[in-house]
Amino acid sequence: MTLNTPVVGMAGGGQLARMTQQAAIALGVPLRVLAGAPDESAARVVADVRVGNDRALDDLRTFAKGCDVITFDHEHVPGDHIRDLEASGVACRPGSAALAHAQDKLVMRERLGAFGAPCPAYAHLPAADPVPALEAFAREHGLPLVVKATRGGYDGKGVWVLDSLDGDAVRLVTDLLGQGLDLMVEEHVAFRRELAALVARSPYGQGAAYPIVETVQEKGICTEVIAPAPGLSDDLAIEAQNLALGIANELGVVGLLAVELFETETGLVVNELAMRPHNSGHWTIEGARTSQFEQHLRAVLDLPLGSTEPAAPVTVMANVLGGDDPDVYSRYVHVMAHDPAVKVHFYGKDVRPGRKIGHVTALGDDLADVRERARHAADYLRWGPEMKAHRTTANTEENA
Amino acid sequence: MTLNTPVVGMAGGGQLARMTQQAAIALGVPLRVLAGAPDESAARVVADVRVGNDRALDDLRTFAKGCDVITFDHEHVPGDHIRDLEASGVACRPGSAALAHAQDKLVMRERLGAFGAPCPAYAHLPAADPVPALEAFAREHGLPLVVKATRGGYDGKGVWVLDSLDGDAVRLVTDLLGQGLDLMVEEHVAFRRELAALVARSPYGQGAAYPIVETVQEKGICTEVIAPAPGLSDDLAIEAQNLALGIANELGVVGLLAVELFETETGLVVNELAMRPHNSGHWTIEGARTSQFEQHLRAVLDLPLGSTEPAAPVTVMANVLGGDDPDVYSRYVHVMAHDPAVKVHFYGKDVRPGRKIGHVTALGDDLADVRERARHAADYLRWGPEMKAHRTTANTEENA
């Protein structure tokens, strides 16, 4: 007789589904993935792949048959479709009501404001006549200001910082509205650094919080995650964990919730929400007793949550971005010989310059040492022996 | 452009191939598995499965096309077939010449004896007239003695301990020979405990040794692995590591080599060899910086080997055997709620009483505590709430 294990369906075939498969293998839980094409990151490694369009209701309905629970690799499955699945009795975790707050930044701001979570000032931009609204917002909150697409953005896409409201800026906003984007404006938060709070919540209502991490971004893309966030006071760490657990509870999240935070002179401010395994949690694969991918599966299956205890005093995850030479594998030899303890993760994705194609993780006791180890591995995998030239350029740009 | 990663082919679709897939996903290395049926343990989770007979040359030849290197989930692929693949230019790692020593216990004993590795006394049993040879061996080495099939055994199968050479014993041996088995006899080693040394060797010649572990067996099946072996002196640990590294080098092993050892009053004695990921190394998934599955892939791909540094002072792995009730999944809730830090591994195999169907791993500082945590999880997954009755029975049997 076979195990009576439930089937988890994940809509989306990216690297999050791919890494979820590693956890599903351990738990003996069959993972079924709805991928857009058979060569997507997860489709290359999962036995049970269905190729289809995860934005199309018919494909979602077909996919859901035989799955005990549906979860998501990204935020782009339309809420209407998820509501339709729910109405027909499919368990979607997180559900559409919670997920709306990770799909629409305006919905998120309104709900979190009502809940009392610290957020930047914001306003919706009327499509017909945005300029007076922008000018009024700038008068009240100053410049620069941040224009965001309410839906569909990720990795810095869908976010524009305006230093002034000159003709170029107005043209940009008018163009974006002309493309049919729905826009909002937010105050530009003067932050010391960015943090992320990762928590899980099960249908039973159990919550679990990982240590708060610092995330380092370059040009809107996360390049590095440091766990735990260096020098963060216990008070602020607990405040961030409780804020994320409170939001998860308030919104009825099931699965993971990542809360991207700004640390400012006066405290924490919520930036973005994600309800799925998150780049800021990749460090947990080796750096915590329970990886975020296992934790997400446990939560959506309503199993007791796993220990979030860290495995080392310091863990640093660095994203590997695509460089000019796609033959990343040939650079493994140097990276692995240079540091036998660094962990290499590759997503099996086509290599394009600047694209997230993998990550590396280093663990240890000394922050500067662990950071340098992760940085070295990620830079070498991207650039090869040319990494020094690129590092020098980056430093020069930073100093300029 | 896609990654220029080599394809690793693994003959055999058991749990070792299944867990290798977790490591292959991280490395971005495509793993192709030759499984006997689509519902085998690895076939349930690997995207690129070929169904065929890994004892049949034609199936092996077809499988090898498009693989950059072939490796093995078990020892049962006939050496003649591997030699045939090698002759046609297929990279087999380990190669047939090395693997012969894990496939035939007589070949292993002869070679290790010549190498000077400590082994029990042994003799080949002539099929035509075994009794005089048995009697002569018993006169020289005493009783009990151990009869072994030279080929095909595992998990205590193919091993018979004879306390006397009475009529029953002679009939057993005659029956085994009559079934066509090739037999050898070995002295019965009076051991304190069993140890295992796990090492890796790459084609380049790099070697890496894991900490020496203690393995606990019941009725010939490994039930528990303790890393590192409690109370083992540094001298003996280094001797065991060097012995395994020396054997790997002497035999030209590529990939992992597990050396099962007896610890006796007078030192170490080699029991068995395996050239693949091994049950005694499952603890490395969470308990070492590099899992044995990643290490095996790195070795067969001729990549630099990973750090074998332990992640905790004590790691205990306990095998989960099938019990009477196959619904193991329903017992996850208790196990995970009872100990949020214990790691559960299920192999997706049909549950049969006494069959290895998974394992659990616990990490910590205190040996007794970590052992009890692993033991509790494994026993509960097997027996459920009835585990106490079974434990009492087992204790009574041990005390009887």
- The pLDDT tens digits of the residues spanning A158-172 come to 899 999 999 999 999
How many angstroms separate the CA atoms of A88 and B311, rounded?
Answer: 47
For residue B156, the model assigns a pLDDT of: 65
Does the pLDDT at position A352 exceed 70?
Answer: yes
Chain B residue with minimum CA distance to A46: B47
* Arithmetic mean of pLDDT, A281-294: 98
pLDDT (tens digit, 9 = 90+) per residue, A130-184? Answer: 999 999 999 999 999 999 999 976 666 789 999 999 999 999 999 999 999 999 9
Give the pLDDT confidence score for residue A309 in this predicted structure. Answer: 97
- pLDDT value at A398 more than 60: no
Chain A and chain B share a number of CB contacts under 8 A equal to 160
Paired with A224 in beta bridges are A216, A318
How high does pLDDT run on average in chain A?
A: 95
CA distance A111 to chain B (A): 32
pLDDT at B165 over 80: yes
* B203-231 mean pLDDT: 95
B-chain residues near A343 (CB < 8 A): 26, 289
Give B132's pLDDT tier (boundaries 50, 70, 90).
very high
pLDDT at position B358 over 50: yes
Alpha helices in A65-181 (DSSP H): 79-87, 96-103, 105-115, 130-141, 167-178
Residue A90 confidence (pLDDT) above 60: yes
Q: Which CATH superfamily is domain B193-399 in?
A: ATP-grasp fold, B domain (3.30.470.20)
Mean pLDDT of the region B363-371: 98
Question: Does B231 score more than 70 pLDDT?
Answer: yes
Strands B193-201 and B255-264: antiparallel
- Rounded to a whole number, what is the distance in angstroms from the first to the last CA of chain A? 67
B26/A345 Cβ within 8 A: yes
Sort out which chain B residues have CB atoms less than 8 A from A49's CB and list them: 47
Residue A86 confidence (pLDDT) above 50: yes
Task: Look at residue B380 and tell me whether its pLDDT is greater than 80.
Answer: yes
Q: Binding site annotation covers A148?
A: yes
- Report chain B residues whose CB lies below 8 A from the CB of A40: none
List pLDDT tens digits, range B259-285. Answer: 999 999 999 999 999 999 999 999 999
Find, in chain A, the residue whose alpha carbon is nearest to that of B352: A1
A21 in contact with B, Cβ within 8 Å: yes
Please report the pLDDT score of residue A389 as a whole number.
85
Indicate yes or no: CB of A2 within 8 angstroms of CB of B350. yes
For A:316-335, CB contacts with B below 8 A are 326-330, 332-333
Looking at chain A, the whole-number percentage of residues with pLDDT higher than 70 is: 96
Report yes or no: B363 at the A interface, CB cutoff 8 Å. yes
| Domain pair B8-92 / B193-399, same fold | no
List the structure tokens of A365: 């006791």
Contact B286, B266 (CB under 8 A): no
Q: Which long-range contacts (CB under 8 A, 24 or more apart) does B79-88 make?
A: B79/B103, B81/B55, B81/B56, B81/B57, B84/B57, B85/B60, B85/B61, B88/B61
Task: Determine the pLDDT at residue A140.
Answer: 97
Q: Give me the mean pLDDT over the A248-268 stretch.
A: 97
> How confident is residue B327, by pLDDT bands cut at 50, 70 and 90?
very high
Q: Stretch A96-110: mean pLDDT, rounded?
A: 97
- Checking if the pLDDT of A100 tops 80, the result is yes
- Cβ <8 Å between A43 and B46: no
CATH number for the domain whose boundaries are B121-187 = 3.30.1490.20
Chain B residues within 8 A of A363 when measuring between CB atoms: 289
Q: Is A189 annotated as a binding residue?
A: yes
Mean pLDDT of A378-396: 82
Chain A residues within an 8 Å CB radius of B21: 25, 45
Domain boundaries, chain B: 8-92, 121-187, 193-399
Chain A contact present for B257, CB below 8 A: no
pLDDT given at position B393 = 59
pLDDT at B397 over 50: no
Which of B3, B18, B297, B344 would best serve as a mutation to test chain A binding (most A beta carbons within 10 A)? Answer: B3
Contact yes or no for A350 and B306 at CB 8 A: no
Split at pLDDT 50, 70, 90, the class of B154 is low
Is A28's Cβ below 8 Å from some Cβ in B? yes
Residue B105 DSSP SS3: helix
Q: Which fold has domain B8-92?
A: Rossmann fold (3.40.50)
Mutation to test the B interface, candidates A8, A45, A382, most B Cβ within 10 Å: A45
Contacts of B31 (CB under 8 A, 6+ apart): B7, B8, B10, B17, B20, B21, B24, B46, B48
How confident is residue A399, by pLDDT bands cut at 50, 70 and 90?
very low
Q: pLDDT digits over A209-244, tens only?
A: 999 999 999 988 899 999 999 999 999 999 999 999
For residue A384, pLDDT beyond 80: yes
